[in-house]
Chain A
C-alpha cells in the first residue's frame, strides 16, 4: 500500500515538475529599448539665437512582452525628460504608458489594457503608435475577438484613448479635455476560407462591416454637441486570378468639432482600388473621396491626437531628403484623390534588361478639393458657417482647387556585380497654404531629381553617393520682401543635396551630407545644413551619432506629420531589441 502511495506521490511530483518545466520552456520574453537624445547649440547662421532654456531633449522607451502559449502580456515604459524639439510638450513626463494582457485560443481572444486595432482600412477605427512622431492613440479598455466559424471574425471593443499623460476624467471643466468613450464592433467574412469549394478557387471574395460610436459630454457654451456620434463602414474585396478589386465606404452622422469648424453635416468617405499583376508587371489604380470625416474622441481637439479613425493618403511616400520636404497629409474636411502606380521589370537577358533586368516604376497622384455648395441657415445662404449644416456637396464633383500632384518615374538598375544605380524624377505641385497653413505663401511647383549610386569595393565595404536637386518654378526671385513676409519663404526656392556614405558590413556606416538652400528668394535663408553621421549595428542593436544642422521641416510617417524646428547640435540614438 505504502508503495502505491509513494508511486502516486512520485508521479504527481514528476508530472508537476514536467508541466512546470514545459510551462517555463514555453515562456518567452522579448522586448525592445530605444533612446533618442539631442543636445542643442546656438547657431545664429540658421536663426537660432536663443535655446529658450532647453539644452537637451531625450525621448526613450522600453517595452517587454511575455508570451506563454495562448497567453501574452506586455508593458511599455516611456520617458520624455524633456521631450525633443518638435514633439508636443504634453509628452513631457515619465511612466508606464502602455500595458496589456491577452488570451487567445483561436476561437476566442480577449484583451484588456491598451489596444491597437484597425477595422478595414481605418475609415472608422484605427489605433496605432508611431514613435518617431510621438503619436499614440491606443484605446485603453477591453476587446473580444470571436471566430465562430472558419473565415468569420467578429470583434467588439470599448475604451478611451490615450491623451499623452492625462488621466481620464469623465468631465473636466478646467481643462479642455473633453475625451469621450469609444465603442466599436466589426465583422469580417472571408468566403474562400468559409466555403470549402472556394478554398483553392481563382475567385476570391471577402466582406466586412463595422460600427463605431463615441460617447462624449457636451461642454460647449455656444453649440449643442451631440453626445453620441455613430459611424459605420462596409468593405468588399474581390479577386480573380491576377485581378483584384477592393472598396470601402464609410458614413458618419453629424459631428461638430474644432476641425470642421462646428458644422452639423454628416461625413462620408469612399476608397476603391483596382489592380492587376503578373510576374514582372504590376499596376494599381486608386480613387478616394473624403468629405467631413475627421473623427476624434475629443471634439475640441485640433492636433494630431485622439483620432478614432485614419484616412489614408494615397500618394507615393517619398523618403529622400528633398522630396520628403513636401509630403502631403490627408485633409479630413474634404478631398478627391486618385493614384496610378505601375511597376515593370525589363527582363534579364534582353538588350535593355541586361544581365540583371531593369526595374521601372511610374507613379502619379493628384488631390483636389471637393465642391461645396451653400446651404440655407437662418434665412441666409452660407458655406461652412459654424452652427449651420455646413454645405452640400455633389458626390462626384471635383473642385478646381488642387492641393497636391506628384508625377514620378524611377529606374532601378544593377549595372554589374559591383555597381547599382537608382534614379528618380519627380514633378511636384504642393499647395503649401492649405497643407501647412502658411497663409498667403505661393504654391510650390518643383522639379526634383534624385540619384543613388552604390559601388561595392569588396565583399565587406561599399560606397554610396546620393545626389538630389530641387528646382522650384515661380518663386519671386529678386522681389523685395517685407520683414513680416520673410518667414513664409523659409525652405523655399532651389535646393541641392549630396550625401556620401561608406559602409563596412555588418557593423559600421559613416556618412557626411550637405543640404543647401542655394536658391532661396530671401538671401539670408541661403543656408548650408551639414551633417555627419556614424552608426554601428550589432545584431538588433543600433547606435547612431550625428552632428550638424537640421533644417526646419515636416517629418511624416503614415500620412501623419509633425513639424520639426530648425536645430543645431548632436543627436544620439541607441536602440536594441531581443
Chain B
C-alpha cells in the first residue's frame, strides 16, 4: 500500500513537472539566418529570460527598437543572461534583404525568418513591432505592441523582475 502511494505520488509529481515544463510558445518551426530549423516550443535559454520581438525590414519603429536594444544588449546579457530572438515577418519580396540588414547594422541577436507569417498568426501578432518576454519556464510574462523612444527601459524593468527569481 505504501509502495503504491509512493508510486502514485511520483506519478503525480512527474505529470505536474511535465506540465510545468510546457512552453507557452507554439509548436512552429522557423529557419534561422543560416537555414537551420528552430522549433519555438523547444526554445530555451538555460532558465534565463527570452525576449521575442516581431519585426520587418520595412518597419521603421522596429529598426529603431532593435538599434536601441542592440546598444544595451551586452549589458543586459551580463546582468540578466537574457537572450533576444528577433522574428522577421518579411515575406519573399524582402527576405533576401534581412541578413544583409541584420549584419550590416551589426545586430547581435538571433534572427528567425517567419516567411509566411506562421508564427505571427499563431501568436496573434497584428502589426510589428510586437514584443514578448518569456521567463525561464517558457511562460509568456509580458508583451507589448509598438515602440517609442525609451520603450526598451520598460522592457528591462520587466526582465529584471523575472531574472531575480532564478
Contacts and interface: CB of A to CB of B under 8 A. Distances in A.
B117 A540 contact: no
Given A275-B96, A277-B100, A506 B144 contact: yes
A318 B12 CA distance: 56
Given A32-B126, A117-B116, A505 B105 contact: no
Interface in B90-116: 91-97, 99-106, 115-116
B151 A278 contact: no
Interface stretch (A14-22, A89-97, A471-479, A487-495): A14-22
Interface residues of A, number: 95
Contact of A131 (B64, B116, B126, B142): B126
A7 B35 contact: no
A244 B144 contact: no
B46 interface: no
B120 to A, nearest CB: 10
Contact of A32 (B12, B105, B124): B124
A433 B72 CA distance: 48
Contact of A282 (B1, B22, B99): B99
A87 B24 CA distance: 36
Interface string B136-166: 0000001111101111011000000000000
Contacts of B122: 65, 67, 72
A578 B125 CA distance: 9
Contacts of B67: 359, 412, 414
B126 A34 contact: yes
Interface string A448-459: 000010101001
Contact of B60 (A319, A342, A541): A319
Contacts of B95: 121
A44 interface: no
Interface in B27-55: 27, 34-37
Contacts of A341: 97, 100-101
B91 A244 contact: no
A26 B150 contact: no
A11 B8 contact: yes
| Residue among B36, B60, B149, B153 having the largest count of chain A Cβ atoms under 10 Å | B149
B13 to A, nearest CB: 10
B71 interface: yes
Contacts of A317: 57-58, 93-94
A283 interface: yes
B104 A345 contact: yes
Contacts of A575: 126-127, 145
A22 B13 CA distance: 11
A224 interface: no
B93 A314 contact: yes
A280 B103 contact: yes
Contact of B99 (A28, A275, A361, A578): A275
A32 B59 CA distance: 21
Contacts of A104: 27
Interface string A312-337: 11100111100000000000000000
Contacts of A18: 11-12, 15
A89 B124 CA distance: 26
A342 B144 contact: no
A506 B104 contact: no
B127 to A, nearest CB: 8
Nearest to B63: A412
A25 B92 CA distance: 37
Nearest to A281: B104
A550 interface: no
Q: Which A-B residue pairs are the 7 nearest by beta carbons?
A: A343-B104, A282-B100, A312-B93, A282-B104, A317-B58, A277-B103, A121-B92
